[in-house]
Amino acid sequence: METPVYLINGFLESGKTNFIKVTLEDPEFINGDRILLLVCEEGEEEYDEEKFRKKNIFTEYIESREDFSAEKLAELNAEYHPDKIIVELNGVWQMLEILNMEYPAGWTIVQLITMVDATTFMNYVNNMRSLIMEQLKYSDTIILNRCTKDTKKNEVRRIIKPVNRKAQIIYESMDGTDMDTEEEDELPFDINANPIVIEDDDFGLWYLDILDFPKKYEGKNISFKAQFYKDPKSGKGVFVPGRFAMQCCANDIGFIGFTARIPSTYADFLNTHNNKDWIYVEAKIKIELRLEYRGKGPVLYVTKLEDSIPAEEEIVYFT
């Protein structure tokens, strides 16, 4: 039988404890289950353990990363036999280690939620970028709390989406209420042009925008400069035009792009070009179900391909 594990991550004073308190007041979440709360970092807010025990919620404190071990978790599982587990993580622990460690039989991580204080977010990005990016990279849901009318949601999205395009970003105001999340960028290109012309410096913004709002690009023509990439495992007539982008730091540069299909008139193009060659692409965009998107995403049906000179700035930046 599966025992769901909910990981709540974030730096100290990011709002983790308050979020867990609110969650454990929800009758639908509690649902009469035995819940084990593992607290790996203590801040100013505290839990009412006596009140929790009356609701079949049991609290255990794990002070060090070494103690958050497979052996310790197995002991707690045998002691409490929980139906659900919530883990308030220490924000400086290595997230990948937590995700890959051995858990008791049946324990399944079903959600990783990262709490972010909007008032300190940019400070962390500027001074501890690699650490906060690791938190964001693996999250299913990112809750940006303590937002104000001055919070630049577009700027936040451009920082998060390159490292985790599937994460849901929720913005909460100072009083904890949800704010509107569907805020589109002011785009530097004309979405109504035919074709939509993507200048070299705008590739990153277009990449994020079409991932967030694919429907508005359905059936439209696009033109842009990119680098050629062909995976030997790709199907016939399929390649990926894209760019290399700095996703979180100088050591984390990766290739981004979209699946493209070419007509038979360009069949020789795939055979005569090498990965990283610079090309010019014109294509019609269709939104289709694709495995790499885990759902629907943009597929480019190429109408024109030709060689191109490199972009003046070969690396894409999102901010």
| 6 close to 111: Cβ distance less than 8 angstroms | yes
From 24, 26, 30, select the one nearest 8 (Cα to Cα): 24
For residue 59, the model assigns a pLDDT of: 97
- pLDDT over 90 percentage in the chain: 66
Least confident range from 97-101, 219-223, 266-270: namely 266-270
- pLDDT over 70 percentage in the chain: 95
Pinpoint the residues of the chain covered by CATH 2.40.50.140. 196-316
> Which whole number is the average pLDDT over 34-51?
92
2.40.50.140, 2.60.130.10, 2.40.10.340, 3.40.50.720: CATH of 196-316: 2.40.50.140
Hey, what amino acid is at 81?
H
Does residue 233 have a pLDDT over 70?
yes
Does residue 18 have a pLDDT over 70?
yes
Mean predicted lDDT score pLDDT of the chain: 90
Place of tokens 């009318």: 149
| 268 close to 259: Cβ distance less than 8 angstroms | no
- Can you give the C-alpha Rg of the chain in angstroms? 23
Does residue 44 have a pLDDT over 90?
no
Q: What is the rounded distance in angstroms from the CA atom of residue 236 to the CA atom of residue 180?
A: 43
Place of tokens 């939509």: 196
Query: Which three-class secondary structure state does DSSP give residue 173?
Result: strand
**Span 291-315, pLDDT tens digits:** 777 678 899 999 999 999 999 999 9
| The two structure tokens encoding residue 312 | 């003046």
Pinpoint the residues of the chain covered by CATH 3.40.50.300. 3-173
pLDDT band at 319 (very low <50, low <70, confident <90, very high): low
For residue 181, the model assigns a pLDDT of: 54
> Which whole number is the average pLDDT over 43-65?
93
The highest-confidence range among 43-52, 103-112, 117-126, 148-157, by mean pLDDT, is 103-112
For residue 11, the model assigns a pLDDT of: 92
E-assigned strand segments in 174-220 = 196-197
Give the DSSP H or E segment for 279. strand 278-290
Does residue 49 have a pLDDT over 90?
yes
For residue 153, the model assigns a pLDDT of: 85
Least confident range from 80-84, 103-107, 178-182, 185-189: namely 178-182
The class level of CATH for 3-173 reads alpha beta
For residue 166, the model assigns a pLDDT of: 77
Does residue 79 have a pLDDT over 60?
yes
For residue 152, the model assigns a pLDDT of: 85
Q: What is the rounded distance in angstroms from the CA atom of residue 229 to the CA atom of residue 240?
A: 5
